[in-house]
Amino acid sequence: MVTEHLERAADSGSETPLRGHAALHHARETMDAAIVASGLDAMGWAQGLHAALDELADILRRHQEASERPGGSLDQMAEAQPRLTSRIEQSRSEHEPLIERAEALRDTVAEQIAAGHVDINPLRRDAGRLQSDFREHIAAGVELTYEAYDRDMGGEG
C-alpha cells in the first residue's frame, strides 16, 4: 500500500498513466462496467469482460509484486506494527488466488468467444463473485494501512 506508487502505469486510455491505488480503482470500475453492461450483444459483452479481466489480472499481479517484494508495503506495515502480522499474511495469501481466478475466468471467456457461444449468466455470476472478493481485499488493505500508520494508538481515536 505505502510503496505501491512504484508500480508500473496502467493503461487507462488517458494520457495520464495510473499507478497504485488509482490503477486498482480503475480496474474495479472497468470490471463493474463490464459486468453490468447489456448482454444483448453477447460477443461484445464477452469481449468487454475479457478486456476487464485482462486488466484486473495485470493490475493484481503488479499490486502483488509491489506489496510483497522485499521491503514492500506489507513488509513495511509488519515492521511498523508487528501486531498486524496475521492480517498482513492473510492479505499476502489472497493475492495469488485472486490472480489465478481472474486469469482462469479470462481464459474461459476467451474460449467461449472462440467457440462462438457465450453463456452470459454464469460468466456474470463468476465475475461478480471475483469482483466482490477483489473489493474485500482492497478494503482490507486500506484498513491495514490505516491501522499501521494513521491510527492513534493512545486509545483516543
Rg of the chain over Cα atoms, rounded to whole angstroms, equals 17
Mean pLDDT by 10 residues, the chain (157 residues): 36 56 92 97 98 97 95 94 95 97 98 98 98 96 90 53
Question: Distances in Å between the alpha carbon of 96 and those of 60, 65, 77, 118, 147?
Answer: 9, 11, 20, 27, 24
Domain ranges in the chain? 18-148
Predicted TM-score of the model (pTM)? 0.83
Q: What is the DSSP letter of 5?
A: G
Question: Distances in Å between the alpha carbon of 136 and those of 6, 34, 66, 98?
Answer: 23, 19, 19, 11
Q: What is the pLDDT of residue 20?
A: 79
The DSSP line for 37-97 is S--SSHHHHHHHHHHHHHHHHHHHHHHHHHHHSTTSHHHHHHHH-GGGHHHHHHHHHHHHH
Q: What is the pLDDT of residue 153?
A: 52
On the CB side of 105, CA atoms within 13 Å amount to 32
Taking 3-state DSSP, the helix, strand and coil percentages for the chain, each rounded to the nearest 5, stand at 75, 0, 20
Q: What is the pLDDT of residue 67?
A: 95
Q: What is the pLDDT of residue 9?
A: 39
Q: What is the pLDDT of residue 16?
A: 52
